[in-house]
Chain A
Amino acid sequence: GNSVTQMEGPVTLSEEAFLTINCTYTATGYPSLFWYVQYPGEGLQLLLKATKADDKGSNKGFEATYRKETTSFHLEKGSVQVSDSAVYFCASRDSSYKLIFGSGTRLLVRP
């Protein structure tokens, strides 16, 4: 079946460092891909999405590009802030509308 694999955390960075969180997927066909963010004590919020190959999703300085060749959707940000500390989930959506999540990556940004 479809699945999503993302790098294990925690990822600890200093403020203004460059962030990459890796995400790869397996799927039949071409799913839509998402990054969700979960701040402490809160639900999941959609961060960005891409619906077809080569699409780039972006929001709040975060970016991810849908790479069909490598079945990847890595999350990047050029300069992280303390307020970016959260858990990040990569997800794919199949034809039944179900979201399939990776295991989550905790990001901790130190001042």
Chain B
Amino acid sequence: EAQVTQNPRYLITVTGKKLTVTCSQNMNHEYMSWYRQDPGLGLRQIYYSMNVEVTDKGDVPEGYKVSRKEKRNFPLILESPSPNQTSLYFCASSLTRDGKNYGYTFGSGTRLTVV
């Protein structure tokens, strides 16, 4: 089954303790992206990657890092989490070909609470 898999689904952590949220897709998609969802704000892009070793900042990148060493994986790293990073996070991937983008597939989300 074609899917984007995020882990963990739920995470409660303490301020300053480094954590990684994993994201993996099995569709050989070039484009991957991370979003955070907050009430009243919709989804906002954190980082995106056009392909292996190519990453760039989205609209709210502060406090986050990403890497794209393999095509299928796009982990989100919080080096020193703070309470304002408490949110619902979504990973998404998309097929791109000949300069066109063919729609997103979203993961099921990771609910992160930083205390």
Contact = CB atoms under 8 A, between A and B. Distances in A.
Interface residues of A, number: 16
**Contact residues of A: prevailing secondary structure:** strand
Which bracket fits the contact residues of B?
A: 20 to 34
Interface of B: 4, 31, 33, 35, 40-45, 48, 50, 58, 90, 92, 94, 96, 101, 103-104, 106-109
30 contacts: A42-B108, A42-B109, A43-B4, A43-B106, A43-B107, A43-B108, A43-B109, A44-B43, A44-B90, A44-B92, A44-B106, A45-B106, A49-B103, A89-B42, A89-B43, A97-B48, A97-B50, A97-B96, A97-B101, A98-B33, A98-B45, A98-B48, A98-B58, A99-B33, A99-B35, A99-B45, A99-B104, A101-B35, A103-B41, A104-B42
